[in-house]
Amino acid sequence: MNQRWRLVLLWALPIVIGLFLLWQVVLRGGPAQVVNAPTVAPRNSAVARMTYGRFLDYVDAGRVTAVDIFDGGRSAVVEAVDPDLDNRVQRLRVDMPGVAPELINRLKEQGISFDIHPPRTAPPALGLLGNLLFPLLLIGSLVFLARRSSSMPGGPGQAMQFGKSKARFLMEAETGVCFADVAGVEEAKEDLQEVVTFLKQPERFTAVGATIPRGVLLVGPPGTGKTLLAKAIAGEAGVPFFSLSGSEFVEMFVGVGASRVRDLFKRAKENAPCLIFIDEIDAVGRQRGAGIGGGNDEREQTLNQLLTEMDGFEGNNGIIILAATNRPDVLDSALMRPGRFDRQVTVDAPDIKGRLAILEVHSRNKTLAEGVSLEAIARRTPGFTGADLANLLNEAAILTARRRKPATTLAEIDDAVDRVIAGMEGTPLTDGRSKRLIAYHEVGHALIGTLVREHDPVQKVTLIPRGQAQGLTWFAPDEEQMLVSRAQLRARIMGALGGRAAEAIVFGHAEVTTGAAGDIQQVAGLARQMVTRFGMSELGPISLEAGNQEVFLGRDLMTRSDVSESIATRIDEAVRSIVDRCYADTLQLLENQRPCMDRLVELLIEQESIDGDAFRSVVAEFTEVPEKERFRPLLPANG
């Protein structure tokens, strides 16, 4: 008898016994007993009641004419003469203590006609069937549930298999994805190609003393293709493949996670060589022994079992573990050491070549117009991941279908980029004063971006609301630029302050609005980083703050200050000094170009959108536009 049937019997036997006893108590003496025909004396009929004492008085007074006794003497129907009703005969029901010999003698002495009606009995076979029917039905239902749980994963009997691994197992993973379908992550593909070669041709490496890596950790932002790479490895390797999520180890019952880890590796050893893919491993692999109370004991037990299985005393030859996470900083150090995860493969956001390759993959089933250049789209989408690019082309295709066009054009691509980055397009403003105020705000941003040499060029200015912004100014940064100079940071601060400065110049300081709230937050962040992280202030080249001090379970409960109170005061003064100087320069620059700003606002109100080339041509009519390198990529600016 296997474990499942033992559990079924262990649960079913007490339930069957208890319900059977309850059945017997309820029906004690009753399954074979039936009340006489209701035409004679129904128990619940509308017959008047009489107490037993009054019945005896009526018998002694000679008022009772007939008595019918039922239920073994427990009840009777009496015909008696009631003097209060003009001596009419009335049928009354009496609850009796039983058939006593004294009562029979008194009835005989008074000459009263009486009859005792014995209960009718059912056949013995029917009584036995009534006693056994319910237990048989209960046992049959339990057997049915047990069979269903063994044939259907996730059925009611699944509770008896908590300790079993929930990993999806494929003897030969037919994911439909191979390395040719993964683009934009060539370095990661090269590292992972060696894993496939290890599985297919291990002799190439063992001949020179190399050993197969125990684990490979895929690290990168969301949407960069970590899970897609795991599918590609499974499709290329042609070996048994187990896949599951890190959260599937953890349950509310103690010890279940560790049991599932043991079961997973037991099945993997039986099918070695094989691959195990654990997605979002940070759900179970977070640092141990931190936070209030030392952390989650059940999760730590699961992690301890995983560490033991990955590099324990027995070892797991032929088993390669792939894991993916976008939070490597929270993983336990014991999980990250060589021997467990020997390799960390970074899957980062693609560059322009990678984006072009990704667009070529996702555009295979899209109908694009002849004038659409994938290279132009790749240049306009710096920072986009593979998932972002797939979503971009899908949004463009949806817009194409909505506009009833046969193919996707650049207009749909432009609108899709705007929608993905800034949100859905809203209804244009009709209020003249609000529209003019927002126009000056956006033109202030764009004019500073055009006149300051170190600022990124303007791509587009629009008054069409998107998301929470009532207007937007788009800049075109250099995607290949990894380092940012002090002059560029200062130019970005001036560009962010351009909207507030334009409001103050045109409408006065008393009429500035809350529209610059996001700009001011951006300015404060940039200025503080210049002082505390980049050493770009009079405090000198000193790092005064740690890079990342997020508070979460697994790290320090509270953040710590790395500076004294006096230094903190000097930091605040340096930040304020940078912002004040930049704001003064922004005000001076916009005041000198007030006619140009007024002309641009009139055009923007009339057209609602101005592209970068048209904007610069108007500015060139009033002043000299500084030469700067032209970049095509598109990113939104502060609105």
Dist. CA 516–CA 586, nearest whole Å: 14
Q: What is the CA radius of gyration of the chain?
A: 43
Q: Residue 152 pLDDT > 60, yes or no?
A: no
Give the model's pLDDT for residue 153. 44
Q: Poorest-confidence range of 258-272, 283-297, 408-422, 443-457?
A: 283-297
| DSSP run (H or E) holding 566 | helix 565-592
Helix (H), strand (E) counts: the chain: 20, 17
Nearest Cα neighbor of 185 from 301, 10, 353, 45 is 353
Provide the pLDDT for residue 551: 46
The 10 Å Cβ neighbour count of residue 484 is 15
Active site residue 503: no
pLDDT value at 102 more than 60: yes
Lookup: tokens for 298: 């059940």
Q: Minimum mean pLDDT among 18-32, 201-215, 377-391, 563-577: which range?
A: 18-32
Would the pTM count as exceeding 0.85?
no
How confident is the model over 284-312, as a mean pLDDT?
74
DSSP type of residue 260: H
**Which is more confidently placed, 553 or 303?**
303
CA distance linking residue 294 with residue 277, whole number of Å: 29
Q: What is the DSSP string of 20-65?
A: HHHHHHHTTT-TTEEPPPTTT--TTSSPEEE-HHHHHHHHHHT-EE
pLDDT of residue 257: 77
If DSSP codes are grouped into helix, strand and coil, which group holds residue 501? helix
Q: How confident is the model at residue 553 (pLDDT cuts 50, 70, 90)?
A: very low
Can you give the pLDDT at residue 444?
92
Tokens of 547: 């890079």
**Cβ 599 vs Cβ 453: under 8 Å:** no
Confidence tier at 21 by pLDDT (50, 70, 90): low
| Most confident of the following: 223-237, 294-308, 576-590 | 576-590
Give yes or no for a contact between 127 and 31, defined as CB atoms under 8 angstroms apart: yes
Phi, psi of 351 (to 5 degrees): -85, -170
Give CA torsion, residues 629, 618, 593, 505, to 10 deg: -110
Helix axes 410-422, 386-402, angle to 10 degrees: 120
**pLDDT tens per residue, range 70-81:** 877 778 888 888
Out of 1-5, 28-32, 307-311, least confident range: 28-32
Contact status, residue 215 vs residue 341, Cβ threshold 8 Å: yes
For tokens 């209030």, name the residue.
Answer: 292
Give me the torsion for CA of 527, 530, 532, 538, rounded to 10°: -100
Considering the chain, what percentage of its residues have pLDDT values greater than 70? 75
Average pLDDT of span 384-389:
88
Lowest mean pLDDT among 153-167, 304-318, 513-527, 561-575: 153-167
Please give the span between the terminal C-alpha atoms of the chain, in angstroms, as a whole number: 71
Q: Which range among 24-33, 154-163, 231-240 has the greatest average pLDDT?
A: 231-240
Overall average pLDDT of the 567-588 stretch:
92
* Residue of 280, 300, 309, 442 marked catalytic: 442
Mean pLDDT of the chain: 78
Mean pLDDT of all residues in 403-423: 85
User: pLDDT tens digit string along 610-631?
Assistant: 888 888 899 888 888 887 654 4
Q: Is the pLDDT of residue 110 over 90?
A: no
Render pLDDT for 223-256 as a digit per residue (tens, 0 to 9). Answer: 888 888 888 887 787 778 888 888 777 766 666 7
Residue 169 has pLDDT above 70, yes or no: no
Average pLDDT over residues 565-591: 92
493 has a pLDDT exceeding 90: yes
Question: What was the pLDDT predicted at 296?
Answer: 57
The number of beta carbons lying within 10 Å of the beta carbon of residue 137 is 10
DSSP codes joined into one string, 281-303: GGGT-BPSS-SGGGS-HHHHHHH
Distances in whole angstroms, Cα of residue 236 to Cα of each of 134, 227, 320, 504, 521: 57, 14, 14, 63, 48
